[in-house]
Chains A and B, each alone.
Chain A
Amino acid sequence: MATLLRGALRPLRAFPGSGRLAADVPLRATSHGAGILYPEHIPTSPLQKALLAAGSAVMALYDPYRHDMVAVLGETTGRRTLKFLRDQMKRDPEGAQILRERPRISTSTLDLGKLRSLPEGSFGCEYLRFLDVNRVSPDTRAPTRFVDDEELAYVIQRYREVHDMAHTLLGMPINIPGEIVVKWFEAVQTGLPMCILSALFGPIRLSARSLQVLVSELVPWAVQNGRRAPCLLNLYYERRWEQPLGALRQELGITEPPVRVEGLV
């Protein structure tokens, strides 16, 4: 079920000139055609990246439901970390295969019928249940836009698409405490600045009780599991649907959560 995703170079368009453009062309030469490395790519200057990083951080805090802002923050702050992640994927046999084949997770690439027919307790079945219960779809992941390297763009896209796998493996719902726990896990696993920032600042809006449970039990558990488990980016999930979730967790060294998260706000 491997789907090939190759960063397609858009054919370079002739730069349209109307003859009345002023001497400010360098700032906008990359907006169309020139420098576009993959379909959704928007080339940005260092200043724009800095502004985007700062703005998206503020906006994500102000309105936690702006998931697109979290995505933008990840893309604009993650370059060095993404390189590191890509390199460690190359060193791992399963990770290297993922980089070569570039599987994507979306409703068009997943065989949902087949997943539904899988036995109870299998990873695929539990993943589907997670999607159904939380009423999310793998298609809600925004495409990468601000990463100026098409392989790294895939790496962050893959990270985003396997985020739901992390939820399933950790047994975390998609409410705010659940997301924070997953972010702590991912922060330890990937070192992405966006994960670290979300992990540190996400709890700001929580009630004191939730914060207490988070700090005393859930975060230490997440950190421990994050350290123990191999990098989740190196798992070819599409080949593991039939594997029982329990066995997969054991393979990765992921234990049951110490507390139920559903009741927290």
Chain B
Amino acid sequence: MAAPRSWALWSLCGRGLSRVMPGCTIPGLRSSWPRSPLGARPLSQEKRATETHFGFETVSEEEKGGKVYQVFESVAKKYDVMNDMMSLGIHRVWKDLLLWKMHPFPGTQLLDVAGGTGLDWVLGDAEELPFDDDKFDVYTIAFGIRNVTHIDRALQEAHRVLKPGGRFLCLEFSQVNNPLVSRLYDVYSFQVIPVLGEIIAGDWKSYQYLVESIRQFPPQEEFKEMIEDAGFQKVTYENLTSGIVAIHSGFKL
């Protein structure tokens, strides 16, 4: 049985661009391309017995994908409501900043991974994208890479499918750089967020996973190095809201 590893729903915007909000529901498989069909790439069946983190729990790498999948199945219905409640709407500002940084224009071939609703979408695996090499101008992933079991593989895949000159952009929760903000943020994260999840969505555990997975994600510098290891150059990052989130950028040259 092929264990789903890092299922991500993403959208391909062939022409023009659409603002993609990561309101994930996992629908059936469907793809209609504005361009010629892309080569299908079969998933490999590699399995490993190593362990990894799922929030603060330790799980096998095999399990993680399935558990993350369940989290997102569970939160899908109230995803946007919860995002607004938890961040008081600020997540929209963060996403706007990401798009602004991208400076997209008509004709940009954009791939948004873990993207939710869009023009055309394909179900697949961020660690093994069903696209050929050198396909896209921009690869974005907003609040998705944290949930991938093998971040390095997702980065390598991002590098592969980007055209030379293409840009990688990642919007993700990161480490706060201000001690006071950090303390308040921690109290808010661990005391309030799971409670909000329980009250609004009837789901404590998924939101506990959310705040724990944020702490498990590498800090800005380390993630920058990971992006460089995947072959990207001119890697930079920008902190937003005292480092609660960061936008990392790199180029395939």
Point out residues on A near B: beta carbons under 8 Å.
13-16, 18, 20-22, 24, 27-28, 31-32, 42, 45, 47-48, 51-52, 55-56, 58-59, 66, 68-69, 72, 145
Q: Which residue of B lies closest to A72 (CB)?
A: B198
Chain A nearest CB, measured from B190 CB (Å): 4
Let me know if A20 and B192 touch, CB within 8 A.
Answer: no
Let me know if A22 and B199 touch, CB within 8 A.
Answer: no
B77 is an interface residue with CB less than 8 A from chain A: no
Let me know if A32 and B56 touch, CB within 8 A.
Answer: yes
Contacts of A68 in B (CB 8 A): 202
Let me know if A16 and B198 touch, CB within 8 A.
Answer: no
Where chain B touches its partner, the secondary structure class is helix
Contacts of A58 in B (CB 8 A): 199
Let me know if A31 and B56 touch, CB within 8 A.
Answer: yes
B46 is an interface residue with CB less than 8 A from chain A: no
Contacts of A51 in B (CB 8 A): 191-192, 195
9 pairs across A/B with beta carbons < 8 Å?
Answer: A16-B53, A27-B186, A27-B190, A48-B195, A55-B196, A56-B198, A56-B199, A72-B198, A145-B204
Please report the C-alpha to C-alpha distance between residue A20 and residue B56 in the assembled complex, in whole angstroms: 12
**Count of CB-CB pairs between chains A and B under 8 Å:** 66
Please report the C-alpha to C-alpha distance between residue A21 and residue B186 in the assembled complex, in whole angstroms: 11
Contacts of A28 in B (CB 8 A): 56, 190, 212
Chain B nearest CB, measured from A146 CB (Å): 9
Residues in B153-193 with C-beta less than 8 Å from chain A: 175, 182-183, 186-187, 190-192
Let me know if A13 and B199 touch, CB within 8 A.
Answer: no
Please report the C-alpha to C-alpha distance between residue A72 and residue B56 in the assembled complex, in whole angstroms: 24
The listed residue (A27, A32, A52, A66) touching B195 by CB distance below 8 A is: A52
Chain B nearest CB, measured from A174 CB (Å): 20
B36 is an interface residue with CB less than 8 A from chain A: no
Q: Which residue of A lies closest to B185 (CB)?
A: A24
Residues in B92-151 with C-beta less than 8 Å from chain A: none
Q: Which residue of A lies closest to B216 (CB)?
A: A18
Chain B nearest CB, measured from A39 CB (Å): 13
Let me know if A42 and B216 touch, CB within 8 A.
Answer: no
A24 touching B191 in the complex, CB below 8 Å, given contacts A13-B57, A13-B58, A15-B56 = no
Contacts of A47 in B (CB 8 A): 191
Please report the C-alpha to C-alpha distance between residue A60 and residue B136 in the assembled complex, in whole angstroms: 49
Please report the C-alpha to C-alpha distance between residue A172 and residue B23 in the assembled complex, in whole angstroms: 42
Where chain A touches its partner, the secondary structure class is loop
Point out residues on B near A: beta carbons under 8 Å.
53, 55-58, 175, 182-183, 186-187, 190-192, 194-196, 198-200, 202, 204-205, 208, 212, 215-216, 218-219, 222
Contacts of B205 in A (CB 8 A): 42
Please report the C-alpha to C-alpha distance between residue A145 and residue B195 in the assembled complex, in whole angstroms: 13
Q: Which residue of B lies closest to A49 (CB)?
A: B195
Contacts of B199 in A (CB 8 A): 52, 55-56, 58-59, 69, 72
Let me know if B57 and A32 touch, CB within 8 A.
Answer: yes
Please report the C-alpha to C-alpha distance between residue A21 and residue B191 in the assembled complex, in whole angstroms: 17
Chain B nearest CB, measured from A75 CB (Å): 11
- Besides A24-B190, A31-B212, 6 new A-B residue pairs in contact (Cβ under 8 A), listed by A number: A13-B58, A18-B53, A20-B218, A27-B190, A28-B56, A51-B192
Please report the C-alpha to C-alpha distance between residue A45 and residue B195 in the assembled complex, in whole angstroms: 11
Please report the C-alpha to C-alpha distance between residue A52 and residue B118 in the assembled complex, in whole angstroms: 36
Chain A nearest CB, measured from B144 CB (Å): 20
Let me know if A20 and B204 touch, CB within 8 A.
Answer: no
The listed residue (B56, B192, B204, B222) touching A16 by CB distance below 8 A is: B56
Contacts of A42 in B (CB 8 A): 204-205
Chain B nearest CB, measured from A50 CB (Å): 9
Please report the C-alpha to C-alpha distance between residue A18 and residue B194 in the assembled complex, in whole angstroms: 22
Q: Which residue of A lies closest to B200 (CB)?
A: A59
The listed residue (B53, B187, B219) touching A27 by CB distance below 8 A is: B187
Please report the C-alpha to C-alpha distance between residue A66 and residue B212 in the assembled complex, in whole angstroms: 27
Chain A nearest CB, measured from B107 CB (Å): 41
Please report the C-alpha to C-alpha distance between residue A52 and residue B198 in the assembled complex, in whole angstroms: 8
Q: Which residue of A lies closest to B58 (CB)?
A: A16
Chain A nearest CB, measured from B203 CB (Å): 10
Please report the C-alpha to C-alpha distance between residue A209 and residue B182 in the assembled complex, in whole angstroms: 55
Contacts of A66 in B (CB 8 A): 202
Chain A nearest CB, measured from B141 CB (Å): 21
Let me know if A24 and B183 touch, CB within 8 A.
Answer: yes
Please report the C-alpha to C-alpha distance between residue A89 and residue B78 in the assembled complex, in whole angstroms: 41
Please report the C-alpha to C-alpha distance between residue A68 and residue B204 in the assembled complex, in whole angstroms: 12
Let me know if A22 and B195 touch, CB within 8 A.
Answer: no
